[in-house]
């Protein structure tokens, strides 16, 4: 498939004008994928299924309502008409979306895309300052928002002059999205004649490494992740029922709870809140078969498995952060299921390394997803031999295109996406995670991967959670420091510290043990459950400097 720019349907050319220069793009690979030049992803994901007579299939299931494919299609059409006829949305306009994981949020995402707009979905817990950053960066004039999130949305107005109109849903008052949707003649809507490389989504990174970056994705990208990871690794079927915890504003959630199920005609169970103590009973109640959540959630659910019937569950997918081997082993022992680990990135839209259930190797992230290529490189970009750690580089049908951001040349190097992760590739081309590249700790000349130390600590029965980072040290430059949340009944005293240090020394090379341990009530995490090691590094740096001084 050609990657030459196709005639855009966007009247508002903002996204095309703010794409990186073409010489800064990664190389795209489309082996086995062939999408027409004119493509609206919602037409393919939703409308075609209704046209094929499958409109009565259950699509979205929530505690409040269940929508068939036909009912979702009508809701999408009604919202698209509101956007275009009531608020003058033009192809290429960006729309801010704010809401929990519920059917109206899904319908709003699809409606914006179907109308030729660009979705900018935001995490429900973001505050006005964070929202105003997204509004300003993407030049957003219109927002659709769940009325329960109105407080921060209204606080955003004075901080974001570009935002001209906010439409709320959820209260059914005059002027609400629901009231406008019910206008006569709004039940039908012809999908905008977009190009396959028209931008339809700007996903902002979670900010684990600093100021969020806007990542731009095309209509073809929405299908490409389904037709690579979805088809060859996940291998879902129409009778599957998806469930999970990641927000729809997180591309892990968008893929796992919207794109993948729609692509195969399956159903999705949408939970507005899905902490481990609510996810387990929901799996049992709605007989979910595929679960998407983070490693911390699988670990947290282990103690409550006996109280819930999860026999319907067939596949468990993990991403968002590295899956510790102890969590994988404990889940397998308790359920008989092997967690399907994967690494993805907002820049890449979804998972690009991960193996199907019958090819999993415990402790490995997996192999490159069919359609993608991956390698391990040194600082100069040369490929490293098997067994030698280096930076992960990947390319395939999706890739990084930042919105007006000079960091494009950091992520894309020599036409490869360089993810910022340190990996080892074995002779069978399985990839083994070592650390985020900035999580490598250099202590007295030794290179130590923080996540390796975390994995050992997590096997100790006293440790509930932990994060390991570098702390400044006058003698060694840096030392390994562990921040640990203990399980109830254990004291964070000197005796516990020595016990844990000796435990690590006995499991891995002694020089890797944490020379400092601090016990904390909780660890800093993003709304998607990722450990914010940069916050721990900041804390460790400040406390370390004081000790040196």
Could you tell me the residue ranges of all domains in the chain? 40-193, 447-548
Share of the chain above pLDDT 70, in %: 96
Long-range pairs for 296-301 at CB < 8 Å and ≥24 separation?
296/321, 296/465, 296/525, 296/529, 296/531, 297/245, 297/529, 298/327, 298/331, 298/339, 299/324, 299/327, 299/330, 299/458, 300/276, 301/276
Res 39: pLDDT? 98
Check pLDDT > 90 for residue 486: yes
**DSSP-assigned letter for residue 516:** E
Which range has the worst mean pLDDT, 26-30, 291-295, 475-479, 522-526?
475-479
Phi, psi of 220 (to 5 degrees): -65, -30
Decide: pTM greater than 0.95.
no
CATH node for 40-193: 3.40.50.980
Res 126: pLDDT? 83
Overall residue count recorded for the chain in this entry: 549
Q: Please state, rounded to an integer, the average pLDDT across all residues of the chain.
A: 93
Using one digit for the tens of pLDDT, what is the confidence trace for 511-522? 899 999 999 999
Res 160: pLDDT? 96
Q: What's the start-to-end Cα distance of the chain, in Å?
A: 60
Q: How confident is the model at residue 164 (pLDDT cuts 50, 70, 90)?
A: very high
Res 207: pLDDT? 57
Enter the tokens of residue 291: 């679960």
Res 66: pLDDT? 98
Domain 447-548 fold is GMP Synthetase; Chain A, domain 3 (3.30.300)
Q: How confident is the model at residue 212 (pLDDT cuts 50, 70, 90)?
A: confident
Calculate helix-pair angle for 103-114, 69-81, nearest 10 degrees. Answer: 60
Check pLDDT > 60 for residue 311: yes
Using one digit for the tens of pLDDT, what is the confidence trace for 458-468? 999 999 999 99
**d(C-alpha 295, C-alpha 339), whole Å:** 9
Average pLDDT over residues 420-445: 86
Using one digit for the tens of pLDDT, what is the confidence trace for 112-148? 999 999 999 998 888 888 899 999 999 999 999 999 9
């Amino acid at each position: 498939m050609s990657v030459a720019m196709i005639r855009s349907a966007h009247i508002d050319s903002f996204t095309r004008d703010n794409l990186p220069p073409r010489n800064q793009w990664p190389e795209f690979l489309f082996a086995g994928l062939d999408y027409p030049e004119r493509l609206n992803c919602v037409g393919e994901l939703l409308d075609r299924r209704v046209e094929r007579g499958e409109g009565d299939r259950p699509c979205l299931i929530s505690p409040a309502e269940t929508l068939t494919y036909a009912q979702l299609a009508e809701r999408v059409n009604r919202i698209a008409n509101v956007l275009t006829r009531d608020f003058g949305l033009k192809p290429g306009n960006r729309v801010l979306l704010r809401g929990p994981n519920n059917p109206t949020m899904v319908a709003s995402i699809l409606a914006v895309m179907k109308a030729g707009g660009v979705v900018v979905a935001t995490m429900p817990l973001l505050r006005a300052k964070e929202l105003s950053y997204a509004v300003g960066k993407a030049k957003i004039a219109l927002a659709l928002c769940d009325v329960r999130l109105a407080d921060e949305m209204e606080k955003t107005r004075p901080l974001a002059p570009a935002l001209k109109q906010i439409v709320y849903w959820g209260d059914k008052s005059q002027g609400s999205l629901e009231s406008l949707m019910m206008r006569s003649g709004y039940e039908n809507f012809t999908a905008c004649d977009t190009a396959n490389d028209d931008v339809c989504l700007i996903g902002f990174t979670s900010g684990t490494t600093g100021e969020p970056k806007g990542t731009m994705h095309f209509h073809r990208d929405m299908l490409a992740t389904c037709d690579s990871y979805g088809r060859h690794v996940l291998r879902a079927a129409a009778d599957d029922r998806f469930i999970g915890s990641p927000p729809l504003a997180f591309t892990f959630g968008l893929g796992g709870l919207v794109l993948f199920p729609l692509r195969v005609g399956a159903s999705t169970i949408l939970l507005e809140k899905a902490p481990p103590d609510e996810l387990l009973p929901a799996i049992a109640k709605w007989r979910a078969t595929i679960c998407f959540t983070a490693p911390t959630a699988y670990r947290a659910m282990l103690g409550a498995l006996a109280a819930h019937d999860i026999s319907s569950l067939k596949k468990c997918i993990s991403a968002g952060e590295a899956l510790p081997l102890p969590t994988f082993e404990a889940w397998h022992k308790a359920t008989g299921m092997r967690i399907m680990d994967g690494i993805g990135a907002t820049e890449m839209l979804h998972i690009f390394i991960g193996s199907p259930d019958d090819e999993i190797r415990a402790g490995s992230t997996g192999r490159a997803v069919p359609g993608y290529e991956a390698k391990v490189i040194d600082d100069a970009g040369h490929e490293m031999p098997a067994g030698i750690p280096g930076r992960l580089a990947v390319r395939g049908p999706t890739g990084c295109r930042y919105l007006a951001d000079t960091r494009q040349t950091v992520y894309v190097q020599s036409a490869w996406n360089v993810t910022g992760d340190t990996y080892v590739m074995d002779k069978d081309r399985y990839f083994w995670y070592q650390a985020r590249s900035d999580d490598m700790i250099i202590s007295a000349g030794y290179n130590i991967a923080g996540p390796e130390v975390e994995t050992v600590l997590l096997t100790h029965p006293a440790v509930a959670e932990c994060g390991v980072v570098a702390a400044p040290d006058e003698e060694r430059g840096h030392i390994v420091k562990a921040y640990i949340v203990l399980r109830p009944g254990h004291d964070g005293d000197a005796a516990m510290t020595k016990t844990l240090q000796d435990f690590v020394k006995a499991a891995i090379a002694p020089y890797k043990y944490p020379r400092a341990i601090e016990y904390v009530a909780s660890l800093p995490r993003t709304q998607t459950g990722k450990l914010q090691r940069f916050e721990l590094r900041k804390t460790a740096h400040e406390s370390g400097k004081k000790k040196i001084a």
